[in-house]
Structure 1
Amino acid sequence: MIGRDAELAALLDAVRNPPSVVFVDGQAGVGKSRLVTEFAAAAARGGAPRVIRGSCQPLPAPFPYGVLLDCLSQCGDLLREPGPVTGALRDHLPELADRLPPAPRALGDPDAERHRIFRAVRDLLRSLGPAVLVLEDLQWADEKTRRVLRFVLADPPPELSIVATYRREDLPSVAPFGHAFHLPHGVTGVDLVLRPFGATEVRAMIDELVGAAVTSHRFAEAVLHETAGIPFVVEETVRALSDPVRDVRAEGDLAQRILAGIDVPPSVADTIKERLAALPGAAQVLTEAAAVLEVPETLEVLSAVAGEATAAHLIASVESGVLVEETANRYGFRHNIARRAVYASLPGPRRRELHERALTTLSALDRVPVARLCAHAKAAGLKAEWLRYSELAAKAAEDANDVSTAVDLLVEVLSDAETSPEVANRLATKLCDHALTGLPGGMMTARIESLLADPRLAPDVRAQVHLWFGLLLQRETGSVDRGAEEIALALGLLGDQPERTVRGMAAMAGPYLGSASIAEHQRSLDRVEGVIDHLPTRELRTALLATTLGGRLIAGDPSTWERIARLPSPSDVHDPEELHHLARAHCNLADACSWIGHYARAREFLRDGIVLAKRVGSSYVVGTAEATAVRLDWLSGRWQGLGQRLDRLIETYADLLLTTDLHLTRGWLAAARGEWVRAEEAFQAATGAHPAAQVFPVGISAAGGMAGMLLSRGKAAAAEEHVRRGVTMLRSKGAWVWSGDILPQAVDYYLAVGDVGAARLLVSETATGLRGVDAPLAQASLAACRARLTAVTDDRDEADRLYREAIDLHWDLGLSYRATQLAEQAEGETITDAAVLEALTQTYDALGATVDAARCRHRARSTGTATPSPRGRRGYGSELSPRERDVARLLAGGHTNREIAQALFLSRRTVEEYVVKVRRKLNASSRHDVHL
């Protein structure tokens, strides 16, 4: 059971204080039966009174006293000297006939007979002793049952408790017992209202259903949107997934696509249809209009689309629970699965008619999202309107950074055989503009490839398709050779269009992708820049410089700084397209600076790039800038709130290539905080599905991140694979400029396995590769590795000098975390100076480097000198202490006690004690319910 601990506790507490009555209110599927089932089990385990359950049935004419007689028929073994009046129930309860007194003589007066039956029920309940009567779905009870319950509770048996569940919207009157009823003095009364789940409970429930804690936050949010958090609908939806364990991991728009692709669960559809059939005809039509409109709308819009509905019909739909008031004067379905069920029940001609009315109605309103008009036009079969609104909707999606939706809209129109050649060529060009935004799973590659055989495309447009298809083959699927063939074909077809040819060459020249060496990329960049001055417009020259300057700088070309002067001044640029490219140039330079170690310059370029991008609404450029910004904040030790920012950005840009950057930073942060499961997932996501197509600096750094995390845990053998991969990438690419995030980890690995020769060889290769290269980070890492190598030769004085040099280089770059780690390393493995350890601990704590701070505390404890607690009071009351918060965070990440102990350098026993405290303070029934 998920999320009902407080309600369960209230139930148990009430039945321990009889006489009592508990009302459990909640809509269909919210979990009332699940709660009373768990309550019955808990009562049996805890020695509570016997629980007797009965359910009312949705019959046209309910049986008199039906649910009460069902319950009483189960109680033969509990009867204790039933009084004479209980004989009036002999004919009603044949199961108890041998235990009841003889039936009294008939009175002949119906009112007197009813009174005797009421007394008999109360006396029989009294003779049961301690008991709990659970009456489910009281909204379907007959009126006689309601009356006898009011009679019993006016003077209840002292050891009786009653638990009644019901749906308020289906009650025949305002109260579960027929009218307002006040319990007499001395009777415990509890009212529980079960609410639908929120995102946290939905996620926990999905994890329970699939049997693993793997559900992504985005998928849980998507399920919440589809189901409104109603547990029954959540369960049926998850059961309808084709591959639940895989599907629930989906991020970004993919989560919503998966849910949109499943059929409405039959059990849910049947429930909705049953409620719909009970409505008056005009109310049904209004509900159908709401299903077609999809989002909550006003009565005026609903009436215009339905054509014959009034406020009275809307009230009937709301009172039945089919529709709900989402916001003031806007009405829709409680959850999207219900809407889809109603929509699926509509015959085709009826759907088209309602969609046409919806288009007419909405197009006359102000500020209606054009995507809605597009969808209604298509569903109504209005081809011309659909084409027009599709282009407008794609542009709106682009402006909102929703590239996936923009691409879907363009592909849909291009796939229509009736789309004219003029429109097809224009939209194919637009689609190519989105080619490198990085939609997941090869989706973009397949869509561009589908255009190659389109007979409507003009030769120059077809050449562009070949170009972008080739680049996508290399980047999304790792098909480097086939991609090169497509690019070569495209460049041949574009021979008489030098501006497009050069743009294709510039795209190929980016050094961070593909298997070509850095030297080859630099030659390609030289060829592209050789013709820039001959291009017809400054806008095109700026577009190419935006690619080539960033490409040169990220490869460590020191001449880039002079070439940057070729960019126009922002004050001289007014054309929106050129402003877009100028923004891209500044953000690309910021990104390059952040990789090679010019962090102050990176922030300058970033600031200017974001201002320019926002001037023209270049949301994708802003996205790349945000990815660079969080990496800079990680490097400079600005970690406060960084995890939340990364989660938000990864969700926002889930379909774009730049998320590999974001996953890398998340991996670094998680590793420093001991969240090893999350770190490993993040480093794997940063590498991507096709290693041959990965972004090289990200792939090298992810390999270093994984290796460093494993080495910190003493897992040198497991680190070997990642060191080998990262070093191989360095050597094959000749990318020594990007060695800063793998060289220290590789050297540490080689020394850990006793291969000093391999460490020296790699350091020597790196030193040679960095000659004449602008690479401050790599140079600082090289200095640190020289110090490390010198220290193992026992030349302590020289090692100290080299460590001081390396530490100073890292501080000069603003790399506070790495500088602190070097300072700790320089002290040696046997450091015993308590003051030094305390200073290191405080620095790590200030950063949020949980593992490093814990390591220093552990080393201080081993010297016999405890490190003082972090700033703040020692007494935290019901709040989590800093150490408890660390434990809670790791628990929430799925770590075992052993892993937590290793991360925080604590004993297993100490961790067990922390886990108990964390669960108590967070009111978590199990370790799996701990969430922060």
Structure 2
Amino acid sequence: MTNGARPARPPSPAVLRTGSRELIGRDRELRALVDAVAAFPSMTFVEGEAGVGKTRMITELLAGPRERSPWSLVRYCQPLRDPFPYGVVFECLRPCAERLERVREKLSPVVGALRPFLPELADSLPPALPPLEDRAAERHRLFRAVRDLLTALGRIVLVIEDMHWADEGTRQLLRFVLTDPPPGLSLVMTYRREDLPDNAPLGRAFRPPPGITGTHLRLEPLDAEGVRTLVEAILDAPVTPGFADIMRERTAGIPFVVEEATCALRASEERLCADEPTARRLLDIVEVPVLLREAMVERMHALPDDTRAVAQASAVLEVPASVALLSAVAGVDRSRAHVTRLLERAVLVEVTENLYGFRHPLAQRAVYDSLSGPHRQELHLRAVRELTRLDPPPLIRLAAHSRRAGLTAQWLRHSEAAADVAMRAGDAFTAMELLRAAVAEPGIPAGDVDRLAISLCDCALIGLHHREVTAQIEQLLSDPRLSDEARGEVRLCLGRLLIRAAGAMGRGRAEVESAVDALRGRPEHRLRGMAVLCLPYINTGPYADDLVWLERVQAGQDALEPSDLRTELLGATLGSRMLAGDPGAWDRIGMLPTVSEPVGAESLLALARAHCNLADGCVWNGHYARAREFLHSGMDLARRVGASYILGTAEATRARLDWYVGDWEGLAERVERLDRIYADMLWVTSELNLVKGWLATARGDWDRARAAFRATGMDRPDSTLIPVAAAAIGGTVTLLLNRDDTAAACAYADRVAALLRRKGLWAWASEPAGPVVEAYLAVGRHDDAHAFVADLATGLHGFDTPIAQASLIACRARLAQAAGDGAGTARLFDEAIDRFRDLGLPYRTARLTESVAARSADVAGLTELVDMYEELGATSDAARCRHLIRDAGATTPSRRGRRGYGNELSPREREVTRLLANGHTNREIAQAMFLSRRTVEEHVAKVLRKLGVKSRHELRL
């Protein structure tokens, strides 16, 4: 082992790494280090395990203001075999030539003893001294020379990294210097306790003498918030709290490991903000960082053989294990002593009481990957033998070890049993992963493939799945081991999965139609396929065609005895009828089992789907109280069986319901979180984007609203949910009218009118109806407006659609207003307002009330509306009302009274801040908030001043 400057490591040409530019989670420790260095003379120890950020914090210290460290030198101890005593100290002194020239007269003669060790400084040092016969005296003179030289250099900060590798001579020299330190010296030393040979960085305990500041800093791993902040800084994008929690679990919060894992994930071009199971999958397969792998291999080589065997057994077991289990799998005696040594060397940690494992999975995998194939297999065989003896047996672990040990039959048996247990526990993702691995194995017999494939399909249809699952199910269709009967079921599953995916609805419907033909000999499964084809919202064809399928499914379900299949089919047909506004749906709800009746998982699943379907239809049609009831029961049932997909659709329905009834508090944040979780599920994300668009419109963020509406898939109605597309187009018409782009607004109005006429389901016109009529009237297309309202009235006749009926009355009020019918206008607006108020829709009520108040310049009414809009969070609407009040020549009093906000942001300044952070220009902000450009400029200046930023580009939400 020797000391010296650390050689530079060339960057890998294959990997582009970009860590965080900011020091994350170390504010307190950095302040303490800065204070310690400033209180010279001082000595500071910075302790922390490998990768925890010691060097990063030193870099941050030395990058600070010059008064923090006027002259600084950093050198590293090295783990080399032949030590050169005091080498790291001499490396620190070598760059001092220029500084020594200025202090030559201050150097004592004893400093000349350094000439043989520092030939680069010979011209600046006193004459060399004759050698001494006593080696102890020679060493003492050398130590004095180093201290005197440091004293002459004046104010200096020396940083010696990796003191755990320092030779004994260096430790003695530093103890000597620190016993009577130079007055201008601040010495910082970093080390890893687990690698110290004597459990003390200076070889033995050292207490600083009076007058010298002594500081000990221990850097701990980052907490979950620190990990999240670090990951976001590297990616320059937000991640979910759940993803950050999993990242911390996988990396133990060690910054280096977090950075390496994040960069590896980024290189994989996968979504990093997905649901938690997907996040776990990604972090399970990410490549172990090269530097971490090298560090673990080096540490393992330094261990005695039996101790290393215990660590390798832990790597094979993967999960924390007892000393006895580690001993049995490793095949060694005295394993308690070996585990103790591994704990001391920080190879293993006590994860929970009496259970030991690696600090984080990447370290475990680094050791596992270093094992040879035969050795790995032998350890897995031992693991199978030992785990089989446990009661109950750990099925998932047994499946994994059996597979890696080459025990195919046992692996298949344990995998199916584990998948069954996981499904009963509501963990469809784990079941999917087990079954995916099994069905992909080429050696599995044909009879087993049928069973495994159908089980995989069942899991995929109720849980959250990633794209690879759909791709694997599609590949199964060409697997020669699959029987024709099973192939029809697999094709039906594939079609249902594709219908849920963005851009694949048409293809999915075609697969379902093909499956229905293929399943003629299996009527129960054929009914399931027909129940998909009767859904009216997955195609733009006439509702009359959907009714044909609906009647066929209903006839089939009515012929069935009470069963899970009958409940499943009822859920589909009732949901379709409710969504269409068919009043007959209410009469058939009693055919469903009560919530207390089902006992099996399939029964609960079928009833959960039925209740959530009914909730969705109730929200679209305006039965909000019943929607809340169905949502509550449906989501509770879905949670009980772990039906993640059904929960996702229910969450989207709940978000839409909360928008309608005015429960906007935290809604935007919730929708963003859900959008990340269910990112690949069209039926969920399309509705979430619709709510995003509505919220952004109410807040005046029109560019974001337009993008959200487009993200619903409204421009491709055949590839998205029809009622969502219709509502999104209606929202887009409103946006275009707000921007006075009436030509474009009418173009979209024509599109949605054509869509509704082609589909023939006017129950879905509640959102676009008003904007369509407004657009037509704005350009003088009165005949088109009247024709649309007439078709709407005809289409709603005989249907149970309270919100669409209220929208129809509002449209008639607009027509009366355009015709100059004052009495009719007032009567119809009052009736529409009463309808929306009775439905419990505060925003729709306020918008219609505003139309009346604006027409009559009712300042008192507009003032009340300002308060209503602000209570909801509709800041753009509130700003528009203030503008109308100003136009009427009145002031706009605040609901809470005028007050000074000091350095805090006022409500209006907060809104300006939000729009600024989203990239809006002053002109766009003025338009959204109905303010003058000059007023917006004043608000922007105040925001920047109060937040202490120099430009709008530094603002972040």
TM-score band, normalised by shorter chain:
0.7 to 0.9
Aligned twin of 1:277 = 301
Contact 1:218–1:250, Cα closer than 8 Å, also in 2:
no
- After superposition, where does 1:513-532 map in structure 2 within 5 Å? 513-532=538-557
Instruction: Indicate how the Cα distance of structure 1 residues 818 and 40 shifts in structure 2: closer, same or farther if over 3 A, else same.
Output: same
Shift of 1:137: 1.9
Aligned twin of 1:235 = 259
Of stretches 232-241 and 68-77 in structure 1, the one that deviates more from structure 2 is: 232-241
Aligned twin of 1:822 = 848
Of stretches 78-87 and 243-252 in structure 1, the one that deviates more from structure 2 is: 243-252
Shift of 1:758: 6.1
Which residue of 412, 415, 418 corresponds with 1:393? 418
Shift of 1:810: 1.9
Contact 1:884–1:918, Cα closer than 8 Å, also in 2:
no
Shift of 1:560: 1.5
Contact 1:301–1:361, Cα closer than 8 Å, also in 2:
yes
Contact 1:14–1:188, Cα closer than 8 Å, also in 2:
yes
Aligned twin of 1:56 = 77
Number of aligned residue pairs: give it.
Answer: 924
Which residue of 362, 365, 375 corresponds with 2:390? 365
Aligned twin of 1:68 = 89
What percentage of aligned pairs have identical amino acids?
49
SS in 1 for 2:766: helix
Q: Distance in 1 between matches of 2:296 and 2:451?
A: 44
Aligned twin of 1:2 = 23
Contact 1:471–1:508, Cα closer than 8 Å, also in 2:
no
Q: Distance in 1 between matches of 2:59 and 2:229?
A: 19
Determine if the alignment matches structure 1 residue 266 to structure 2 residue 295.
no
Q: Distance in 2 between matches of 1:122 and 1:902?
A: 70
Of stretches 489-498 and 244-253 in structure 1, the one that deviates more from structure 2 is: 244-253
Shift of 1:252: 4.6
Q: Which amino acid aligns with 2:654?
A: A
Q: Distance in 2 between matches of 1:113 and 1:152?
A: 16
Aligned twin of 1:140 = 165
Aligned twin of 1:26 = 48
Which residue of 800, 804, 821 corresponds with 1:774? 800
Aligned twin of 1:128 = 153
Shift of 1:354: 1.9
Q: Which amino acid aligns with 1:384?
A: A
SS in 1 for 2:894: coil
Instruction: Indicate how the Cα distance of structure 1 residues 404 and 861 shifts in structure 2: closer, same or farther if over 3 A, else same.
Output: farther
Contact 2:614–2:627, Cα closer than 8 Å, also in 1:
yes
SS in 2 for 1:53: strand
- After superposition, where does 1:602-641 map in structure 2 within 5 Å? 602-610=627-635, 621-641=646-666
Shift of 1:213: 2.8
Contact 1:204–1:929, Cα closer than 8 Å, also in 2:
no
Which residue of 60, 65, 70 corresponds with 1:38? 60
Which residue of 905, 927, 936 corresponds with 1:907? 936
Aligned twin of 2:310 = 286
Q: Distance in 1 between matches of 2:409 and 2:357?
A: 29
Instruction: Indicate how the Cα distance of structure 1 residues 206 and 18 shifts in structure 2: closer, same or farther if over 3 A, else same.
Output: same
Shift of 1:43: 2.9
Determine if the alignment matches structure 1 residue 461 to structure 2 residue 482.
no
Determine if the alignment matches structure 1 residue 301 to structure 2 residue 322.
no
Which residue of 717, 733, 736 corresponds with 2:762? 736
Aligned twin of 1:116 = 141
1:210-247, CA deviations, whole angstroms, 9 ceiling, x for partnerless residues?
5x436555554554343333332333334435746664
Q: Distance in 2 between matches of 1:538 and 1:751?
A: 54
Contact 1:553–1:593, Cα closer than 8 Å, also in 2:
yes
Which residue of 119, 126, 134 corresponds with 1:101? 126
Instruction: Indicate how the Cα distance of structure 1 residues 64 and 852 shifts in structure 2: closer, same or farther if over 3 A, else same.
Output: farther
Q: Distance in 1 between matches of 2:95 and 2:875?
A: 59
Aligned twin of 1:170 = 195
Of stretches 853-862 and 532-541 in structure 1, the one that deviates more from structure 2 is: 853-862
Q: Distance in 2 between matches of 1:925 and 1:91?
A: 57
- After superposition, where does 1:803-822 map in structure 2 within 5 Å? 803-822=829-848
Which residue of 435, 446, 451 corresponds with 1:426? 451
SS in 2 for 1:117: helix
Aligned twin of 2:5 = none
Shift of 1:550: 0.9
Q: Distance in 2 between matches of 1:25 and 1:487?
A: 62
Q: Which amino acid aligns with 1:264?
A: V
Contact 1:253–1:654, Cα closer than 8 Å, also in 2:
no
Contact 2:661–2:842, Cα closer than 8 Å, also in 1:
yes
Q: Distance in 2 between matches of 1:909 and 1:444?
A: 54
Cα RMSD for the two superposed structures: 4.1
State the TM-score, normalizing by the size of structure 1: 0.87
Shift of 1:629: 3.3
Contact 2:909–2:939, Cα closer than 8 Å, also in 1:
no
- After superposition, where does 1:437-836 map in structure 2 within 5 Å? 437=462, 443-476=468-501, 478=503, 486-570=511-595, 577-610=602-635, 621-642=646-667, 645-646=670-671, 659-660=684-685, 661-662=687-688, 664-665=690-691, 668-669=694-695, 672=698, 686-687=712-713, 692-704=718-730, 729-746=755-772, 762-788=788-814, 798-828=824-854, 833=859, 836=861
SS in 1 for 2:182: coil
Q: Distance in 2 between matches of 1:177 and 1:900?
A: 62
Q: Which amino acid aligns with 2:40?
A: P
Aligned twin of 2:364 = 339
Shift of 1:756: 6.7
1:618-672, CA deviations, whole angstroms, 9 ceiling, x for partnerless residues?
6654554444334323322223454565566556656656532445445545665
Shift of 1:898: 8.6
Shift of 1:518: 2.2
1:405-452, CA deviations, whole angstroms, 9 ceiling, x for partnerless residues?
433332332333443444333333333434544866754443333333
Shift of 1:388: 1.9
Q: Which amino acid aligns with 2:846?
A: T
Shift of 1:553: 1.0
Q: Distance in 2 between matches of 1:657 and 1:122?
A: 71
Q: Distance in 2 between matches of 1:861 and 1:74?
A: 72
Shift of 1:551: 0.7
Of stretches 751-760 and 18-27 in structure 1, the one that deviates more from structure 2 is: 751-760
SS in 2 for 1:22: strand
Structure 1: runs of 5 or more not aligned: none
1:159-201, CA deviations, whole angstroms, 9 ceiling, x for partnerless residues?
3322222222222333333333333444344433333334444
Contact 2:43–2:214, Cα closer than 8 Å, also in 1:
yes
Shift of 1:726: 5.4
SS in 2 for 1:92: coil
Aligned twin of 2:13 = none
SS in 2 for 1:103: coil
Q: Which amino acid aligns with 2:802?
A: P
1:106-158, CA deviations, whole angstroms, 9 ceiling, x for partnerless residues?
44333333332222222211212222222222222222322333333333333
Instruction: Indicate how the Cα distance of structure 1 residues 778 and 441 shifts in structure 2: closer, same or farther if over 3 A, else same.
Output: farther
Instruction: Indicate how the Cα distance of structure 1 residues 101 and 675 shifts in structure 2: closer, same or farther if over 3 A, else same.
Output: farther
Shift of 1:552: 0.9
Instruction: Indicate how the Cα distance of structure 1 residues 613 and 401 shifts in structure 2: closer, same or farther if over 3 A, else same.
Output: closer
1:793-839, CA deviations, whole angstroms, 9 ceiling, x for partnerless residues?
77666544443333322221112233234334443399683x55553
Instruction: Indicate how the Cα distance of structure 1 residues 472 and 609 shifts in structure 2: closer, same or farther if over 3 A, else same.
Output: closer
Structure 2: runs of 5 or more not aligned: 1-21
Q: Distance in 1 between matches of 2:222 and 2:881?
A: 42
Instruction: Indicate how the Cα distance of structure 1 residues 471 and 174 shifts in structure 2: closer, same or farther if over 3 A, else same.
Output: closer
Of stretches 281-290 and 702-711 in structure 1, the one that deviates more from structure 2 is: 702-711
Instruction: Indicate how the Cα distance of structure 1 residues 337 and 912 shifts in structure 2: closer, same or farther if over 3 A, else same.
Output: farther
Q: Distance in 1 between matches of 2:776 and 2:214?
A: 71
- After superposition, where does 1:184-223 map in structure 2 within 5 Å? 184-210=209-235, 212-213=236-237, 215=239, 219-223=243-247
Instruction: Indicate how the Cα distance of structure 1 residues 294 and 441 shifts in structure 2: closer, same or farther if over 3 A, else same.
Output: closer
Contact 2:429–2:459, Cα closer than 8 Å, also in 1:
no
